[in-house]
Structure 1
Amino acid sequence: MSNASIPSYDEVVTGRRSIRGYLDKPVPRDLIEEVLALAMRTPSSMNTQPWHFHVITGEPLARIRKGNTDNILAGVPDSREFRRGSAFGGVHRDRQVEVAKQLFGAMGIEREDKDARQDWVLRGFRQFDAPICVIIAYDRVLDDGDDSKFDCGAVATALVNAAWSRGLGCVINSQGIMQSPVVREHVGIPEDQVIMKAVAMGWPDESFPANAVVSNRRSVDDAARFVGFSS
């Protein structure tokens, strides 16, 4: 990609969307490496750079998808390797419901259509059928503090923005790593790493209705306080 065709930072941040529908088109390894190199410029606590990226495609990814969906349909409890916390409530739940309504509306999924709603959920466990899945993990030796989780969140954000700047779409999700033993089995993630998040990646399918959804964002006035300013 020429420099002339690379969007500005503002264009990336304001234009990026979470992509949940992908073209059946492979992503070149050298392009993924370019995106990762950009993402890894992310600052980290004391320059620890705790992150590891496991980039999966093809048959291993197909086996993970099958293992994830088979387990969830069989009622196997999830086994995330990081704290999930309690269910959202209050305004946080309101925002969760709002974007779900946007997505279901775009996809034409009615509230009473249980089959369609379940299929949508299973798409998450299939990594949204993206050609690439990036598993982000961190060094287990750092698990007793929160800095490494914070740093992995930062690098995940940088990753999806870097991908968008190169024409690739992503969505950060947890469904892809809910069945962590499945992921470990088919990827060979070392036991000295903690699985943090999954990122689906690929070329956006512009005909997929949910890809047009842009979630509502809080205003600066709502989210920020300014202290000590004269005006």
Structure 2
Amino acid sequence: MLFDDVVLGRRSCRGYKQEPVPRRLIEEILGLAMRAPSSMNTQPWHFYVITGEPLDRIRRGNTERILAGHPDSREFRKGQPFAGAHRDRQVGVAKQLFSAMGIARDDKDGRQDWVLRGFRQFDAPVCVIITYDRVLDGSDDTPFDCGAVATALVNAAWSRGLGTVINSQGIMQSPVVREHAGIPDDQVIMKSIALGWPDDSFPANAVVSERKSLDEAAVFVGFEG
């Protein structure tokens, strides 16, 4: 695929076929992702790639703890709730997804099931947990670099026919994730990425999120015309 085709065609997938993804293909994707730039070549990222029964245990543990009322234990800072235009975009994509799935505003069960899908890693056959070295905790460059490698990963996966969605729900219960993924204490859990073969019959997979215009995003200084 051409680079433009990957970037313009990629979308977040929230429904997956229950078919295994070959380890060698994942290794190829990670190898491409690790060509992402990082501050002064620090390469702070690590990947924990989980499938099968260990992933099922993480799904169960996440869901059980959330339903039991356990507060989230996300390790990477999450900041303040979105407001203004950022909140509008968040609500906008949620409306797109709920509409595609036929989940009405007053459908509490449907909405809860949708939320729980996130804690189940969207039932994808593979989950990639991105961590960074704890000695770098507090660095502004480190999360920027991990974001770069995550972007490279999802684009590399798409170029190979695989779907992904970057999410935080799957790592909200970090003790569960640490236990079943074998993540040591010298790592900070940052993000998770669900990965697998897209299920084209899943309505939400057809959703293409709206993007703000270039005029809204870019300021050009010193150019003529």
CA distance in 1 between partners of 2:202 and 2:74 (Å): 29
- Structure-1 residue corresponding to 2:7: 13
For residues 84-121 of structure 1, what are the alpha-carbon distances to aligned partners after superposition, in whole Å with 9 as ceiling and x for unaligned?
A: 11111000000000000000000000000000000000
CA distance in 2 between partners of 1:124 and 1:189 (Å): 21
- Structure-2 residue corresponding to 1:158: 152
By how many angstroms is 1:33 displaced?
A: 0.3
CA distance in 2 between partners of 1:227 and 1:134 (Å): 40
- After TM superposition, the score normalised by the length of structure 2 is 0.99
CA distance in 2 between partners of 1:42 and 1:226 (Å): 26
- Structure-1 residue corresponding to 2:174: 180
- Structure-1 residue corresponding to 2:191: 197
- Structure-2 residue corresponding to 1:76: 70
Identity %: 78
By how many angstroms is 1:67 displaced?
A: 0.2
Of 20, 27, 30 in structure 1, the residue corresponding to residue 21 of structure 2 is 27
CA distance in 1 between partners of 2:181 and 2:117 (Å): 20
By how many angstroms is 1:74 displaced?
A: 0.4
- Structure-2 residue corresponding to 1:136: 130
By how many angstroms is 1:146 displaced?
A: 1.2
Of 203, 208, 213 in structure 2, the residue corresponding to residue 209 of structure 1 is 203
CA distance in 2 between partners of 1:61 and 1:31 (Å): 19
Say whether 1:221 aligns with 2:215.
yes
- Structure-2 residue corresponding to 1:171: 165
State the secondary structure of the residue aligned to 1:145. coil
Say whether 1:146 aligns with 2:157.
no
- Structure 1 segments, 4+ long, off by >4 Å, are none
CA distance in 2 between partners of 1:218 and 1:155 (Å): 23
Of 41, 44, 49 in structure 1, the residue corresponding to residue 43 of structure 2 is 49
CA distance in 2 between partners of 1:209 and 1:228 (Å): 45
Question: How many aligned positions are there?
Answer: 225
Of 97, 100, 111 in structure 2, the residue corresponding to residue 106 of structure 1 is 100
For residues 171-195 of structure 1, what are the alpha-carbon distances to aligned partners after superposition, in whole Å with 9 as ceiling and x for unaligned?
A: 0000000000100011110100100
For residues 7-62 of structure 1, what are the alpha-carbon distances to aligned partners after superposition, in whole Å with 9 as ceiling and x for unaligned?
A: 10000000001000000100000000000000000000000000000000000000
By how many angstroms is 1:218 displaced?
A: 1.0
CA distance in 2 between partners of 1:176 and 1:140 (Å): 20
CA distance in 1 between partners of 2:30 and 2:132 (Å): 15
CA distance in 2 between partners of 1:47 and 1:175 (Å): 29
